[in-house]
Chain A
Amino acid sequence: MEALYLFILVILLLLVGVPIAVSLGLSSILFLLVYSDSSLASVAQTLFSAFEGHYTLLAIPFFILASSFMSTGGVAKRIIRFSIACVGHFHGGLAIAGVFACMMFAALSGSSPATVVAIGSIVIAAMRKVGYSKDFAAGVICNAGTLGILIPPSIVMVVYAAATDVSVGRMFLAGVIPGLLAGTMLMVSIYFYARYKGMPKGVWAGWAEVFSAARGASWGLFLVVIILGGIYGGYFTPTEAAAVAAVYAFIVSMFIYRDMGPLKTAEGQTPLSLRKHPQALLTAWFHPDTRETLYDAGRLSITLLFIIANALILKHVLTDEQIPQTIANAMLAAGLGPVMFLVMVNVILLIGGQFMEPSGLIVIVAPLVFPIAIELGIDPIHLGIIMVVNMEIGMITPPVGLNLFVTSGVAGMSVMRVVKAATPWLGILFVFLIMVTYIPWLSTFLPTYFMGPEIITR
């Protein structure tokens, strides 16, 4: 029962406004001091080895960096143009295009709020202009943005993989079908809703526009090929893929799109040519835009990683005290089946996801439920995808839904209004969660097909 005190302490500290990282770390340290004979030095060592010993986690700052270069570098604009050219002529076309653009951006970035900002800040304004209501626009984008963590690459998946020692490559592959499915479900529902409401549709601009838009966006979208192709072609590890992606994104935004850095010019003018300004090859590395992007990506990564590092201290405590095994045995003794277990996991994560930041929550919950899942014969990859989808829902439910805050900022609406606007579409994600939970095939087919069946080591 000592474990219960630990969790109560974490929650109490969180509620009085202690930062998440410190709540997790302090509770674990106090628990260790009272119930075990570990020294403070060993806690410090655990904190350091959270960075030193988890090479997988290195992928997080690199993916964040790649996505920062992509968001400031105007890739979003080109992706949106491409998706409008593709699906803009349907009823509710701009909304569908918004979802489509979110799906594509999700394949470049590993985070949901980043996806909402990149796509939402352009699409929501555009939708308002052609006569959609603000609430509809915000609701759609807020939901579609959550795909950022489901469609690979995904920061939350990297965290899950690091916490449970499953392969990042498998997790990424597992997210593909569910991600496409969720996006399609959103788009189809928007289409029918739009028919029913008689919403505006755009004009079909012809194949020429599709191809020309595709050419514009292709430099950005090629990043997907680098990341996924590189990992599955065996060229590099996911962490290396993330670093390569970051360097590629830097080159594209600096020298090809030229929306930032030394070759950038004022809005609406042609950017400078590299041939006439070859010194840019050197100055770009130290340009204020580069430094600013590096700092921004660093800031986001540090905030996230410090939470993860402290969650790892907590995980350390849990495994040292054999708490997951105790819970697992109690549950199995009570005759818990896989179906009820997954329902419980969903409930725990949905509630937890409303208060906690996804990565930290995953690090804590994953080691608790993982041994039980293995015992019950649930595929670890399937469990991971269930967790990610739960986190998606957590991001758009109050009180702590990152996507809600970001959307409220992007759309200029109160958070409460965004909550109301997002709720109808939340239903779709719930249906999707049930599908993902009870149709393991959705998540396990691709990884098994490409990488062979999962070998479970206990």
Chain B
Amino acid sequence: MTTQPLLKISLGDRIERNFIALMLGLMTMITFSNVVIRKLQEKDFWRSDWFEPWAEPLSTFGLQSLETTVFLFAWMGIVGTAYMIRINSQLGVDVALNYLSPSWRKAAALFAVGACLLYTLLLLKGSWDYWAPFANLPPTDGRIIPEGFKTRYLNQGYYEVNDIVMPAWAQFLGDWFNDGDQYEKIPRFIPYFALPLGIGMFLWRYLRVARDIVQNRANMIIASHDSEDLVDEAAAKADKD
């Protein structure tokens, strides 16, 4: 039913795919390691002398693992969605669309992509307003439509996350964002950057989808169901057998 534009795997695609794979792989391994460390801590040898040089760093790792995983999760979920828009992998309902004539379908698709763009623009303003103060940048004025940047706002560059310790090599950020004071934990604007970055990528991707629809290269912005790949895979497998 859906006509997917032929996708050539470019360098950008490979980067984004590997990004998704890497995030998921890291999340899994960190959570798994944390379980192992916690189990080891209950053992006797954890307190013995020969293990001492290991116990300290492993415990530190364990303490930071939960928050790290959760932030990787957010990065995968938000920045990864931008790639889902590119490969037309968002789920939707195509029942009504299938009854429409091609020209009405195009109109519906244009309306749908318009709705997506509206969503993205609203969220983009929201993300910027939320993230900017953490990076000592001005949020925008106005409730719905940005009306220039605020001149009076609180610098929140000193906000830190709860658990993740700031590595020494990154302390130069203290000079830039924290009046020269060192960060104990990493500053908040780092993990939260997923929002403006990810939503900004949505905007770029939806604009491209809109262009494709206008030029009749695509007629939908949704995959009618998430089974396309599963089906292709299964069909390929069935052919082999």
Binding site for B on A (CB under 8 A): 13-23, 25-26, 29, 33, 39-45, 47-48, 50-52, 55, 57-58, 61-62, 65, 113-114, 117, 120-122, 125, 235-236, 239-240, 243-244, 246-247, 267, 290-291, 294-303, 305-307, 309, 355-357, 399-400, 402, 405-406, 408-410, 412
Contacts and interface: CB of A to CB of B under 8 A. Distances in A.
Contacts of B76: 61, 298, 301-302
A246 B28 CA distance: 7
Contact of A51 (B70, B89, B96, B229): B70
Given A17-B94, A298-B20, 8 more contacts: A40-B144, A41-B126, A51-B70, A240-B35, A244-B35, A306-B90, A406-B234, A408-B231
Nearest to A45: B130
Nearest to A50: B77
Given A26-B115, A29-B119, A44-B129, A17 B24 contact: no
B229 A296 contact: yes
B123 A29 contact: yes
Interface string B13-25: 0000110111111
B226 A247 contact: no
Contacts of A14: 92-93
Contact of A405 (B108, B127, B225): B225
11 contacts: A18-B112, A19-B221, A22-B116, A40-B144, A55-B70, A65-B24, A291-B17, A295-B21, A300-B226, A301-B24, A306-B81
A437 B192 CA distance: 43
B126 A302 contact: no
B168 interface: no
Contacts, number: 247
Given A44-B129, A409-B235, A29 B122 contact: yes
5 pairs of A and B residues whose beta carbons are closest in the complex: A409-B231, A40-B126, A44-B126, A294-B21, A51-B74
Q: How large is the interface on B (under 10, 10 to 19, 20 to 34, 35 or more residues)?
A: 35 or more
B73 A405 contact: no
A44 B29 CA distance: 28
B166 to A, nearest CB: 19
B20 A39 contact: no
Nearest to A410: B234
B122 to A, nearest CB: 5
B97 interface: yes
B112 A58 contact: no
Given A39-B143, A291-B21, A409-B235, A20 B70 contact: no
A16 B227 contact: no
A236 B39 CA distance: 10
B78 A51 contact: yes
Interface in B186-241: 192, 194-195, 199, 220-222, 224-227, 229-235, 237-238, 240-241
A48 B195 contact: yes
Contacts of A409: 227, 230-232, 234-235
A340 to B, nearest CB: 29
A302 B35 contact: no
B118 interface: yes
Contacts of B143: 33, 39-40
B172 interface: no
B66 interface: yes
Given A14-B93, A52-B71, A44 B32 contact: no
A307 to B, nearest CB: 7
B70 A58 contact: yes
B32 A22 contact: no
Contact of A52 (B24, B70, B95, B220): B70
B149 interface: no
A295 B17 CA distance: 6
B154 interface: no
A320 B154 CA distance: 27
B138 interface: no
Nearest to A300: B226
A330 to B, nearest CB: 29
A301 B76 CA distance: 9
